[in-house]
Structures are given as structure tokens and as C-alpha cells.
Structure 1
């Protein structure tokens, strides 16, 4: 089916062409023990994947590209917030002198140590 403009001529399509995604039409029936299945499911969940997606990548590639786990994402979010706080304290220290901001810096440094030692 071709796109045509009002005059009947072939219209030039604009924009990014649609991705042609190959449909998954073939299947393999795989039987696992309950223990093996739970182990695979846990590994997939740690990577934020579904069990079938995890199994497919293991079969085709022999390994799964490691993504950030939910724990890693939470840690990065917390560290980002603390970095933002440190930047605000540094700005405040430049205005009013470091001695006024020293306690805040010590508290945040201790929070970062605890966060990293909990891993």
C-alpha cells in the first residue's frame, strides 16, 4: 500500500521509518525442576527481566548483559540526592564561611559511609 497525496502522486514519507520487529513465532518447550525454575526466575528478577526473556538471552548469547538492579538504582538515587545536598552546602559555605556548614558536611559524609557500607 503506497501513500499518495491529493494529486495522486506518490507521497514522500517523512520522519523516522517504523522499526520492523521480527515476531517470535517458534517455541521450545523446556522443562525444569521447581528449584531450577525458581533460581532462574530470581536471577531474571535481579536483572529486571522476565524469566522467558532471561532464558532466551542465555540460549542465544550464552550470557545476559548486566543491567542495573533495583538495589543499584536506589543506591544511585540516594547518592545523587546527597551530592545535590553537598553542592548546596558548598554554595552556602562560600557565602557564609565554612565553619557554619561544617556540621552539615560531617553528617552527610557519615550518611554516605553508612549507605556504602550497607551493601
Structure 2
């Protein structure tokens, strides 16, 4: 489409309004200045080049935290029982060690997701 002075071939643009807090607007302005761009050009660049947002992230993180909490609760119940009895069976220690390994794996998975 030919638009503008001198009838240049430029793609027409439509307005799109978003609501930002003062802090968010300042961040966009700062980032645009650092990249030597106008705010609208910077946001457009982010939209085109940033890719898709993973909306399941919050649910995955919440699920991992719930799993870790459950494993820790089981571990605490085992240690409470062992402390109350005054002795621990080998099988109980193996189960406790297995739970601790699961907790470590889930924590590592959670840390990897947060990176």
C-alpha cells in the first residue's frame, strides 16, 4: 500500500492499546532507550521476536511445589514416627533416603524451570 509523503510502499499499521503500570511503562521506556529505539518500535520488536509465552508455567511451578510439599510431609511423618519409637528399621531408612532423593530431583526440576 502506498502511504505517507512521497507515496512510499509502507505496510499500514493499526493502533493497539495496552494498560501498563507506571513501573512497567518506565521499564519499557528505559529498555527502549538502552536499545536506541522508540518505545513502540521496541514493543513491536519484542512481539515479533520474543516467541510464544508459556502460559502453563505458573501451573507447572505450582504443581511441583505441591509435590515437593507432599514429599516433605511424608518425610517428616517418618522421622516423627522414628523419633517416637526410639529406633528405625532398615526399610524405613531406605524409604526415607528414597524420599529425600525424590525431593532433590523435584527441587532440581523446579530450579531448572525458574531459569
Q: Do they fold alike, i.e. is TM over 0.5?
A: no
TM-score by length of 2: 0.45
Whose helix fraction is larger, Structure 1's or Structure 2's? 2
TM-score scaled to structure 1, two decimals? 0.44
Higher RCO (C-alpha 8 Å, min separation 6):
2
